[in-house]
Structure 1
């Protein structure tokens, strides 16, 4: 199988203080081909059609692809509120000229549903989302979250549900290197993966099951999550999509020069992958 080239993307979480237009312009300046917009970065969130159109127009002008808006949460607890939100977000993705919507499951220590109930609710959500996303020819990017209290921890669970419903053309996985390691998952599903999120962990005192979003850095030489190994495997298995930086740590968000830090991380990854 031919190994595909590495393609980087910038998730808005690399620098939430940037406006969507600044994120897109920075991607263009860095030679990065795509961005992920978000609905949870304060005043710079995509929350209405005007903001979505504006971001989409700037992206089109600069030749930058809008991969997604991140995210519908909790997508696997389907109700009238979730249906309304999904419709609103689908309209925003469409207005921005985006490819799809990131779907994140419930993370709640008090959620006590059985495995069978979780699977039934997951399938219900996928069926409903297929109809909503289909109106705009959008993809759903299902992102299992590896936290111990997540209602959907592994990609294997998501793939099984998607395949059982025959919805592979509508839904793809988000392989998040942080959550892959957090869930202790060893299986890779490159052929089912539509998007990859990367971030690093360096603190040796933090166990993988105790990791939180606030610990997520850029990928560097002291990374403990084996981002390089995970990317090697995905690329070797035929993944040909984007690899999107998604750090949540305040230490990254507060950097005076996030572009320099991003370039350093890109250089590190490229050198380790030798591509």
Structure 2
């Protein structure tokens, strides 16, 4: 069955040059109803210069659900600064009506053992409970990442006894060599969100960077469409959020953004029909 429009979401990373009102309006024009906000946009704030209530009002006006705020980093090194950042973003998520907050692991080559990651999850979980926000743990596939595996992340969440879910990213899935073989052990009911992007850049997969991430194209080396088909065949019924990162996006006009989103949705729907 074709993936319905209401299951697609647009991450704000695709439109670094648009303010929130323009971004929300663009998503609404496409007939979509879900967005992700971020704390790493050029202005440095989740809501730009708007109040939380203004963002809520805009979302209501355009019929949009704010799915997540991206992201706490590095969640598995829960220093006082990281705990403070987490609580600050949870307050913002609650204030704008976002349902989830993304948690990303340390990504600088430092090894963090499983016990420490479990302790970090247990340390942060009460904060999520307090604000009523869902935590989404996103393994990063980079060779230098301290948590590359979705299967391991699932095990650590369960062993820590916390109610977090997984965020699967097709880019990071492709970068982790054992991802495909391990994914059979992932409980699809624990997948809370899927991020989509594509890569056409040449060179070794393990050398790819966020700047190589574009939208879905016929030349996508990540096989994002194949990953989606696998998820669907396993019973995933959740949200797919487009999250390209390339610096070329800064030069895109609104019509370029709309065309790329429309084309990518059409590609997904045709492949999974």
If the length of structure 1 is used for normalisation, what is the TM-score?
A: 0.91
**Offset at residue 251 of structure 1 (A):** 2.2
- Structure 1 gaps of 5+ residues are none
Post-superposition CA distance 1:116-173 (Å, at most 9, x none): x521221122112210011111101100000000011111111001111232xx3111
CA contact (8 A) 1:202 1:223 kept: yes
Give me the whole-angstrom Cα distance separating, in 2, the residues matched to 1:53 and 1:158.
35
Give the CA RMSD over aligned residues: 1.9
- Structure 2 gaps of 5+ residues are none
**Corresponding residue of 1:129:** 124
Give me the whole-angstrom Cα distance separating, in 2, the residues matched to 1:45 and 1:260.
27
Question: Structure 1 residues 193 and 29 mapped into 2: Cα distance closer, same or farther (>3 Å)?
Answer: same
**Corresponding residue of 1:202:** 200
Q: How does 1:167-246 map to 2 (within 5 A)?
A: 167=162, 170-184=163-177, 185-186=179-180, 187-188=182-183, 189=186, 190-203=188-201, 205-246=202-243
Post-superposition CA distance 1:36-68 (Å, at most 9, x none): 000001117316895433222211222211011
Give me the whole-angstrom Cα distance separating, in 2, the residues matched to 1:14 and 1:33.
16
**Offset at residue 227 of structure 1 (A):** 0.7
CA contact (8 A) 2:52 2:96 kept: yes
Post-superposition CA distance 1:46-96 (Å, at most 9, x none): 168954332222112222110111000011101111111111000000011
Post-superposition CA distance 1:165-219 (Å, at most 9, x none): 232xx3111110000010121133322110100100112x221111100000101
SS at match of 2:98: coil
- Which deviates more, 177-186 or 19-28? 19-28
Give me the whole-angstrom Cα distance separating, in 2, the residues matched to 1:164 and 1:61.
42
Aligned residue pairs, count = 265
CA contact (8 A) 1:76 1:105 kept: yes
Q: How does 1:1-275 map to 2 (within 5 A)?
A: 5=4, 7-43=7-43, 45-46=45-46, 50-109=50-109, 111=110, 113=111, 117-167=112-162, 170-184=163-177, 185-186=179-180, 187-188=182-183, 189=186, 190-203=188-201, 205-256=202-253, 257-274=256-273
Give me the whole-angstrom Cα distance separating, in 1, the residues matched to 2:44 and 2:251.
16
If the length of structure 2 is used for normalisation, what is the TM-score?
A: 0.91
Give me the whole-angstrom Cα distance separating, in 2, the residues matched to 1:236 and 1:27.
28
